[in-house]
Chains A and B, each alone.
Chain A
Amino acid sequence: MDVSEQLETQKSKYKSIAVEKPIPLQYDLALLAGFDTNALDESRLKNDTDNYLKEYTRDGTQLIINQIFKLPITSSDLGIMAELPEQTTVIPREKPLPKPKPPTRWERFAKAKGIQHRKKSKMTFDEATGEWVPRWGYKGTNDDSTNDWLIPVPQNDDPFEDQFSKRHEAKKERIVKNEARHRRNIEDAEAELNQSKGIDARSLRKAELQRQIAMSKTATASIGKFDKPLEGEPKLKGVKRKFEPSIGDVKKEKELSLNILKKIVGKKGDIVNVRKAIAKRDQ
């Protein structure tokens, strides 16, 4: 007996997986979807809807599954996996594409100078202790306030000055300076985003400072009324009340009054809440 014959008999024991369709289906296997444009048997659909749909869907699903099983297959410890192709159906995104981050001042400078970023490992070997320590941060090597037990006083310095606290102060200062730079970078980036509106970083910062000055001026007992004005301080503009002209448009005036009435009386025109009133009377 031939092997192929044996296979045939084996196969004929089970129901077939082949499905015939006049128009072949279209697939988007990345979405596990099949699109069937064949005409349906409308009379059967009307009289025997659920059974017909189930049969029809079975055929379609079989075709999709046949396609999926044709994909390159790998077996991993999670199970047998089929590698899906690229998606062909266009589905809109949820949010717009992320905008590239505006470069910081240092990044712009480095680019102009052609300085390239070299990757450094975070840990360095400390020869003195024979241990790997972080280059910066907690227990880092560059934290020089903790490492030395003695600091020689420089030649022309005040011998009574505490060199340790001097170092500490210097570090604090550097941190403050760096934070200022960080803030400036954020402001610049913000201004770049608003560039289309014609706002630059300088005017943004200026407006913010002026707002803060104005706010701080109101912190006196007289809410700033008797304060000496600063040099070059802009005059604050308060809210100016506007009045309608006393003679003129009658129609507009009527409308305004009616609007107020409407707000008080409400849409339905019930001034008195009857239910509430009855409850009050019955008390």
Chain B
Amino acid sequence: MLKKIKPKNARSKRALQKREPKTEENVKKAIFIRGSSTSQIVNEALSDLCKLKKPDAINFTKKNNTIHPFDNDTSLNFFCEKNDTSLFVVGSHSKKRPNNLTFIRMFDGQILDMVEVGIENAKSLSEFKTSKCAIGIKPLFLFVGDLFENSQVHKTFKNMLLDFYRGQSVKNINLSGLEHVISVTAIDSSSEQSSDTRAMPGIIYFRVYTTQFKKSGEKTPRIELEEMGPSYNFRIRRFKFANDDVYKLATKVPKVNKPKKIKNIDVNEMGDKIGRIHLGKQDLSKLQTRKMKGLKRIAEDYTEEDLESEELVPLTKKQKA
């Protein structure tokens, strides 16, 4: 009845646990994969985009005849499950759609959305003889163009690029670790005639620069840029948006268990911890004051109730007297 894979040792158990759904998710991993036929440009683009995504990226260097994301998604689902990845870039090259890249996002093992772009004017990472950024560093993003606000495809593509390259989500960022910026600029040049009839009008310029902090005489440094590569002009071709229900499920925000409010403990300006204790009302009738002969209770002071409860005390006193 329980057909789930049962881990046979602690190591595989841990590995399976890492793959389970969590409230705070792992970094999304990406697979860069080739379709049935690819060109030199596509191959270089795939490996360069992979290098940008490292260390959360896997580059598949063999060709795959069965991958056609817009027609059939079974093999992608398989790769997704096998490698625990949810991002894909599929490269292909055909007469119909030359130099083609498909950016794919998955949710729960199924394709969520895809955007297909054609590459023009590609320059690979190695063509720029400049210093590169370190591996695994969060990039800055700059999206230029009102298309990223107005057009649904561009919005999706923006969200996708953010998702691909944002890396680990962190609370604090090291200011010296802001090494590169991914700049994506979209223009809607509908007047210009494109040779690519299958593409939407407009170009998306994808550029990556390394940043240099220069003195500015103020606390904030002046930024100078140097192109690091890769550099592409993308033209959007086919796309597929997420199903509304699935998208709603995918963007559900977990209820964050808020930390309990700590009562009665403060820290003052000096950093001292100050606690407050609530004692309740003090019973002053039982307070032991200074003993004096004049304040002593004599036998007449005792009521009958006292006599019942404190029989011993007055009796012994009487006997003595």
A residues neighboring B (CB under 8 Å): 7, 10-17, 30-40, 42, 45, 49-50, 53-54, 56-58, 60-62, 64-66, 68-69, 73-74, 78-84, 87, 89-98, 186-187, 190, 204-205, 207-208
Contact = CB atoms under 8 A, between A and B. Distances in A.
Contact of B25 (A32, A45, A90, A94): A94
24 contacts: A7-B217, A11-B218, A14-B216, A32-B139, A32-B166, A33-B143, A34-B141, A36-B143, A37-B146, A42-B189, A54-B207, A57-B209, A65-B140, A65-B221, A79-B176, A80-B174, A80-B175, A90-B251, A91-B162, A91-B251, A92-B105, A92-B107, A94-B106, A97-B23
Contacts of B249: 96
B44 interface: no
Contact of A17 (B105, B211, B216): B216
A192 to B, nearest CB: 13
Contacts of A68: 173, 175, 178
Contacts of A12: 217
Interface stretch (B57-65, B93-101, B222-230, B297-305): B222-230
Interface string B10-32: 00000000001111011010000
A143 to B, nearest CB: 22
Contact of A82 (B26, B142, B175): B175
A22 B207 CA distance: 23
B205 interface: yes
B86 A13 contact: no
A46 B297 CA distance: 107
Given A33-B162, A95-B108, A187-B1, A61 B140 contact: yes
A231 B28 CA distance: 56
A38 B186 CA distance: 11
B307 interface: no
B222 A31 contact: no
B251 A60 contact: no
Interface of B: 1-2, 20-23, 25-26, 28, 86, 105-108, 112, 138-146, 148-149, 159, 162-163, 166, 169-178, 181, 183, 185, 187, 189, 205, 207, 209, 211, 214-225, 227, 231, 242, 247, 249-252, 254
Contacts of B166: 31-32, 91
Contacts of A207: 1
Given A58-B223, A205-B1, A93 B142 contact: no
Contact of B144 (A30, A31, A36, A87): A36
A190 B2 contact: yes
Contact of A58 (B22, B159, B189, B224): B224
Given A33-B142, A56-B144, A98-B21, A91 B222 contact: no
Given A15-B214, A83-B171, A65 B223 contact: yes
